[in-house]
Amino acid sequence: MIRILKILLSLAIAASIVAACSTSPTGRSQIIYRSDAELAAESARQFAEMRASIPLETDRAVIDYVHCVTTAIIEVLEPEYQELKWDMAIFDSQAVNAFAMPGGKIGVMVGILEAADNQHRLAAVLGHEVAHVTARHANERASRSPVSNIGVQVAAILLGGGHSGATYTAYEALNAGAKLGIMLPFSRGQESEADVIGLEYMARAGFDPRESVALWVNMSGDDEGAKVAEFMSTHPSSERRIEALISEWPTVLPLYNEALAAGRNPNCTM
C-alpha cells in the first residue's frame, strides 16, 4: 500500500511539473508554479506600499514625457498585455532605476532620466522592464523559491540611492550571509532575454533600437569603482551587453523601419 501511494505521489508530482511547463517569447523552456493572478496581487500590494512611502514626481513635463514613451511601448505589446490596465508611477528619487511588475505596474525613478536622456533611450529601459513581465520572469523566479523576492527587490530599489551599482549592493545587504546561495531578482539569462524582447518592442513602437547601446554606455559610467563585477551581478557586463544588442540590429532595424513607414514616429519630449 505504501509503495502504491509513493507511486501515485510521484505521478502526481510529475503531472504537476508537466502541466506547469511554459515557453518564453524567445522559445526558452520555463517551469511556472505561481499563477499570474497570484503574482499580480502581490505586485499590487508592493506597488501600493512604494507609492505610499516614496514621494511622487510632480513636474508635469516629466510626467507627460515618461507617459508618452510608456504608452507607445504598451501599444505594441501582445494583445493580452495591451489589454492590461497598466498603472505607472514616477518616483521623485535619484535612484538610477525603473521596473515593471506582473499585473501591469511600472515604476520609474527620475534618477534614471540622466542616463536615459532621450526618448529612444528611455524606450530601451521601459521595453526591457516590460519584457520581464511579458516573458513571465517574475513568475519563473518565484517558482524557483518558496518565498517571492518581490519584497526584497522593492526594498533594494528604495535603498539604491543615485549610485549606478548601489541597488545591487543594497540587495546584497538585505541578504547578508547568503550572497551566492539566494535567488537574485533576475538571472543573467532573463536579463539578456529581456534585452532582446525589449529591443523588438521599442523598434515596433518607432524608437531607434541603436540608441540602446548609448543607454548602456551611459549606464556604465566613467567611475570604474561604480561598476559591479559581472560574476557577482545578475546583469551581463556592459561590454557583453552592448555586443549582444548590436548583434540584434539585423533583426530589429527592419522592424523599426516598418514602424516609421506605418506612421509610428513618437515625439516624446520634456
Q: Indicate which residues carry an active-site annotation.
A: 129
Instruction: Give the 3-state secondary structure of 56-114.
Output: ECCCHHHHHHHHHHHHHHHCCCCHHHHCCCCEEEEECCCCCCEEEECCCEEEEEHHHHH
Distance CA 203, CA 76 (A): 10
Q: Which residue has the cell 499590487?
A: 44
Distance CA 199, CA 54 (A): 30
What is the spatial distance between Cα 174 and Cα 166, in angstroms, rounded to a whole number?
A: 12
37-47: buried (b, 16+ CB within 10 Å) or exposed (e) per residue?
A: eebbebbbebb
Alpha-carbon gap, residue 178 to 238, rounded angstroms: 25
